Amino acid sequence: SQKIEQNSEALNIQEGKTATLTCNYTNYSPAYLQWYRQDPGRGPVFLLLIRENEKEKRKERLKVTFDTTLKQSLFHITASQPADSATYLCALIPGYSSASKIIFGSGTRLSIRP
């Protein structure tokens, strides 16, 4: 069966450290993989997109890697801050057209303590 799995436990790290979140998938061949941030009571907000032929993408303190052999994406937040505390969702897009689904993982709750 098709699955998207993220860190099952909440992640609690010290301010200033690098947070690393994991997204593993099975029985998908995604064309794109996206990461979203979701705050309590709000809808998800897009952070980064990476294509199947890309290994790494960066945006300010954020970095995403994509390994299609391992079927895994890692999401890193460097120099983490308490304001980074939120739930982070990975999402797979199986196809290249705008008629593709966007399929979400279960999310990882990240807490950054001062």
State the residues that interact with other proteins by CB under 8 A: 4, 6, 31-32, 34, 41-46, 49, 51, 89, 93, 95-107
CB of 22 closer than 8 Å to CB of 88: no
| Least distance between other proteins and beta carbon 64 (Å) | 13
| Least distance between other proteins and beta carbon 16 (Å) | 28
| ∠ Cα 51 58 18 (to 5°) | 120
Tokens of 113: 């303590």
| Least distance between other proteins and beta carbon 10 (Å) | 10
| Residue-by-residue DSSP string for 51-100 | ETT-SEEEETTEEEEEETTTTEEEEEESS--GGG-EEEEEEEE-SSSTT-
Nearer to other proteins, 15 or 47 (CB): 47
| Least distance between other proteins and beta carbon 110 (Å) | 14
Nearer to other proteins, 74 or 103 (CB): 103
Nearer to other proteins, 6 or 65 (CB): 6
Nearer to other proteins, 39 or 67 (CB): 39
Residue 80 backbone class (left: φ over 0; alpha: ψ -120 to 50; beta: rest): beta
